[in-house]
Structure 1
């Protein structure tokens, strides 16, 4: 009993840190400026139809929820960090659609079994620390015959490279927590979902990012705007040498992936997976 209570307290503390992290900086700007096209890509791939009940897990500001609502679906957007919903509601209002916004932990969704026709997540559920728990929840709340659709950054792509680069600058993850880009590994995700799904379709695609003049511009933006990077800098704020090294290393990630001439052009790879629940 003591161990169970301790584990529960540790999990609450971990989730509180995650909620705080994603509330730092300006993730709504990241979503709107850099990856707005990913939501419509996922909605199309999942075949969202009018009248379907759709759940967007780790929805952030609604990059998937709003396009799903535009497709005529009845959409719930859930996220551990409700501070992001202000921007999401404004996004939905600009598009003239209704979305329900609900605070929820991807590893313990507050919905009944078989509640949704489709459950989607765009670079969202991948950041839940316990992958199997999150995958179990995706399956549980999807009705038999319903679909799961996921977009996740790949380990070998730009974001995977970025997280490997930042790893030495942050505290080690707690026991049981897994790296987010593993969700971008087909073998890993197939194992998480197991034989509970069928008609699995997987492909790797890229989103082209052209918002930055140079790798240094990217580094400066990412340092001020993206929660995990802000945490890395705060963790080293008292060490000027390590802060300078982090500056250099993050700019180097952009340099490695830059294919532009005169301006920075990067292709960020992601895994797109759709499946049908048995």
Structure 2
């Protein structure tokens, strides 16, 4: 009897508890949604939604929102948050951005993905699916981390990669979604004209009533890529070096006052219009 193979992306995001990281991102999620011009009745898909950092603000503005995430624990957390907020116009379901098989064609006015679909294993498939479920005249808006960027998250991923084994053959780095030429290539293959794809750079801020070391501890304990880096570094006897490198990063980029943490991270905002 064949043993089912666990989707590595699903395993990555279920091994920790991203809700603990998401709690430091709520203000930025609210600010991002505020820019989208969401109105009552708009059909919105939040892809790679986590526990609803952007889905809840969209629903509060009256949109009919579906949040889809690959991690069962985050879908359950999102449902709990929606229930507690009394948002009956917000649903969560589990799904893979590369194959949204439960969703019909042209069903959404707006598809958003904040640091979610960028981690899908097959980026061309994810682009195709985002375009497929968007109605003509609708939009796709993504927020993606940028490779080589000097700010927090790109540097966390870069440092973590230096302490983990090489990725398997065929692996495509998620942060290539932060390079305009790759975004254009993927959406063009899915039928979006390059002229209908726009880019801006924006700032996301992680906030914590605690020190940068406290925020790093959250990433170490609950964020899949950092958890994997610490596990590999510990096995190799390099955990102290990894921790020192990351702690220096968090402390040097903190712009909060004493005992507080406020660290910005630059991201690429992608807007694709479907004709």
TM range (shorter): 0.7 to 0.9
Partner of 1:133: 125
Structure 1 residue aligned with 2:45: 55
The equivalent of 2:240 in structure 1 is: 244
Provide the rounded CA distance (Å) in 2 between the counterparts of 1:83 and 1:218.
Answer: 21
Could you give the per-residue CA deviations for residues 182-228 of structure 1, whole angstroms, max 9, x where no partner exists?
22223332332126155433221212334265443333222112121
Write the deviation string for residues 73-120 of structure 1: whole angstroms up to 9, x where unpaired: 221111111211222112212322122221111011122221211111
Provide the TM-score with structure 1 as the length reference. 0.85
State whether residues 46 and 147 of structure 1, in contact with CA within 8 Å, keep that contact through their aligned partners in structure 2. no
Report deviation, 1:55. 1.1
Return 5+ residue gaps in structure 1 as ranges.
1-8
Larger helix share, 1 or 2: 1
SS of 1:236's partner is helix
1:234 Cα shift? 2.1
Q: Is the 8 A contact 1:45 1:274 kept in 2?
A: no
* SS of equivalent to 2:7: helix
Give RMSD over aligned pairs.
2.3
**Counterparts in 2 of 1:79-94, with a 5 A limit?**
79-94=69-84
Cα-to-partner distance string for 1:167-195 (whole Å, 9 max, x where unaligned): 02222222332222222223332332126
SS of equivalent to 1:196: coil
Query: Is 2:95 the partner of 1:104?
Result: yes
TM-score of the aligned structures, taking structure 2 as reference length: 0.86
Aligned residue for 1:225?
A: 222
1:196 and 2:192 aligned: yes
Aligned residues: 265
Aligned to 1:163: 157
